[in-house]
Structure 1
Amino acid sequence: MLQTTHKPFASELRDKGSRLDLLRLNPNLKSMFRGLILLSALIPMVLASAELERLNHVVAIVGETPITMGDIQRQTDPLERSIYQQYPNNPALRRQKVLEIKQQALETLVERQLILMEFDAQGYQLPEKIVDKQVQERIRDRFGDRLTLTQTLQAQGVTFEAFRKDIKTTVIVDFLTAENVNSVSLVSPSEIKAYYDTHLEDFQQEKLIRLRMIFLKANPENRTAAEAMLKEIRVKVEAGTDFASLAKVYHQGSQRNQGGDWGWVDRNTLRSDLSEEAFKLEEGQASDIMTTDEGCYLLYAQEIKPSEPKSLANVQGEIEAILLAEEKNRLRTNWIDELKKKNFVRYY
């Protein structure tokens, strides 16, 4: 009975003494490999071309000036990186946030170009020495020296000329905006009062607690004894013994001489576990014993101020700032709308 032994293909070649290359044995395979090599060389070129086409895509025209995706990208790159770091596991929200900042960047670029056109139309001229001064201040404040600026611009692929042009544009935009928008300086008392009355929920004084505590340091060896001690103290407090007097004896914290007094605290004064327990208390009530890695706590709510609206006098300045900002925003929106009516603007 004959038996056939199947050897690996490479072994068969060696057995036959063949020195032929695999590609020489199969001309079609050789052509395929050549095609793959050519394709691998073309793919980066195709991708680069597609990216360049995307960046050069015009999304708006203001007057005769196009605004491209590349212009928007340069505005949003730092923010996009921040968004990706902030929402690494939420791609849907990430896309939404990126879309929002791109839309905002587009509107900002359109508005800046409209303002530049209005600057020219009004016959204004900006002395170059003012731009030079602003450039020097920007270098000093943000980069420290010219070398750091140069290195930063090179890393970002930005020329010094583009950097200077951006500063010049900012100076022009700020100047003309101030001329047309920042004329509002006063808000009447009646406007402040009306805003206060309709936004009381925005001016609530948080609930406050006049808090005292007794803290005993504890480790695994003496934790049970510390808890027992605080339970005894709690019984005394419930029986009417002054908490502050007990804290001056037992408290092992920096407020011992003050009877464990933390003063008036809100929910953000203490760390979350202590705050949660403290804000459950009624006035004059001591907490349950709280045990943590560093020790044991007994909290006491000496007084409580419930949440209530802040007085108008306390928030008048805050309301005035809000109303001024709203009015400036309204004036700016109206001004930009007028500029859009005067000039050619098209979105794509």
Structure 2
Amino acid sequence: MIPLLRPVFILITCIQLAGTNTSFSSTNPAEQRSEAIALAQLGNGIAAIAEGEIVTFEEVRKSLDPMIPKLRLQASNEEEFKTLINDLSKDILQNIIDRILIVKEAENLGIMIPASYIDQEYDSIIQNDFNGNRRQFLSYLDSLGKSADSYREEVRKNLIVNIMRSRQRENLAQVSPEKIEEYYINNKIRFYQPAMIHLKQIILIAENNQTVEETIKQGEVIVEQLSLGQSIQQLANQYGNKQYNRPNGDWGWVRREDLRSELVEIAFQLKAGEYTKPIQIDNAVFILYAEAIKESMIQPISEVRDIIENLLSQTIIKETTDNWLGKLREKAFIRYYL
């Protein structure tokens, strides 16, 4: 196998050009025009050849484009953005190549997909993704520059890849109870659960000419109604400020870091079923209610056994898949140009 060439400056440049409204691209009209020309010229360049099948730069870019906004948010500067593009582009290219190798391996093994299976999957996509509207589906293909036949071929290859990957998982060893217990003992800190409170609260805001003092008095009335047995849910829906309150006043399970600093100690001193007096912070008044409490603890193995088993299973699957793909790459002819 010919090693992967490191530079991906062409791809980085073209991705930047594709988003000319961002801070990383030129705002000069003349430069934008020249960049657009360069992008058009490079659009059909060869990124790699795998087993005689060409992977174009355009294929890589199409997969990369939807991820650009997220990468731009992650990057703090242009150099970091280039690094993210570099890493992701190589991953995308390798995934495309791996799919080619998997399909080739299936053909070598004589694995065939019945036409009826392909038709069923093809029709299912139209039904589920396009509400059965075949005209809309064909318009979508046209926007991608694909024909119905070429897309059907993609469906066939997707089915083959899924079948081949499934075959790799069929004979995997089961995760034994001993392995689960060993992992739990060696990684107990991962299952540390900090103290949590199932918090319900009523938030009142002094507004519309209502003073803070009047809002506090309203809060005292609500607390009195709580003491008489009215539910926190009903009172939250009745009195809570619509902009800030949640339905039934329910904020779910929260940790210390989830709360305002002024409320942390007060909230975590409550016992299940207890509530506070009105608490004023600026022009807001809070009434906190502890629906339930969880003390800080290491979760027992009985609560995390399924999590550990799934984690270990995923690790085995990844290792097995990586070894399998590594062997396919070793015996394949691959040339990288990206």
Q: Name the TM-score, length of structure 1 as normaliser.
A: 0.68
Q: 2:164 matched to which residue of 1?
A: 176
Root-mean-square deviation (Å): 4.0
Identical amino acids, percent of aligned pairs = 21
Identify the range of structure 1 (313-322 vs 95-104) with the bigger mean alpha-carbon deviation: 95-104
**Are the structure 2 counterparts of residues 78 and 162 from structure 1 closer, same or farther at C-alpha, using a change threshold of 3 Å?**
farther
Helix, strand or coil for the counterpart of 1:59?
strand
- 1:168 positional shift: 1.0
Q: 2:297 matched to which residue of 1?
A: 308
Matched, 1:279 2:264: yes
Alpha-carbon separation, structure 1, partners of 2:234 and 2:48: 64
Helix, strand or coil for the counterpart of 2:315?
helix
Helix, strand or coil for the counterpart of 1:266?
strand
Alpha-carbon separation, structure 2, partners of 1:155 and 1:271: 47
Alpha-carbon separation, structure 2, partners of 1:92 and 1:212: 46
Q: 1:69 matched to which residue of 2?
A: 57
Alpha-carbon separation, structure 2, partners of 1:68 and 1:279: 56
Structure 1: tracts of 5 or more residues without a match = 1-42, 234-242
**Are the structure 2 counterparts of residues 196 and 75 from structure 1 closer, same or farther at C-alpha, using a change threshold of 3 Å?**
same
Helix, strand or coil for the counterpart of 1:201?
helix
Alpha-carbon contact 1:61-1:347 (below 8 Å) kept: yes
- 1:324 positional shift: 1.0
Choose which of 274, 279, 286 in structure 2 pairs with 1:289.
279
Choose which of 129, 152, 161 in structure 1 pairs with 2:140.
152
- After superposition, residues 95-114 of structure 1 pair within 5 angstroms as 95-114=82-101
- After superposition, residues 80-99 of structure 1 pair within 5 angstroms as 80-81=68-69, 83-84=71-72, 86=73, 91-99=78-86
Matched, 1:254 2:233: yes
Structure whose alpha-carbon radius of gyration is higher? 1
**Are the structure 2 counterparts of residues 287 and 308 from structure 1 closer, same or farther at C-alpha, using a change threshold of 3 Å?**
farther
Choose which of 164, 174, 181 in structure 2 pairs with 1:193.
181
**Are the structure 2 counterparts of residues 252 and 271 from structure 1 closer, same or farther at C-alpha, using a change threshold of 3 Å?**
farther
Q: 2:193 matched to which residue of 1?
A: 205
Amino acid at match of 1:67: V
Helix, strand or coil for the counterpart of 1:181?
helix
Identify the range of structure 1 (92-101 vs 54-63) with the bigger mean alpha-carbon deviation: 92-101
Alpha-carbon contact 1:203-1:309 (below 8 Å) kept: yes
Alpha-carbon contact 2:180-2:309 (below 8 Å) kept: yes
Count of residues paired in the alignment:
290
Matched, 1:326 2:315: yes
Structure 2: tracts of 5 or more residues without a match = 1-31, 240-247
- 1:337 positional shift: 1.0
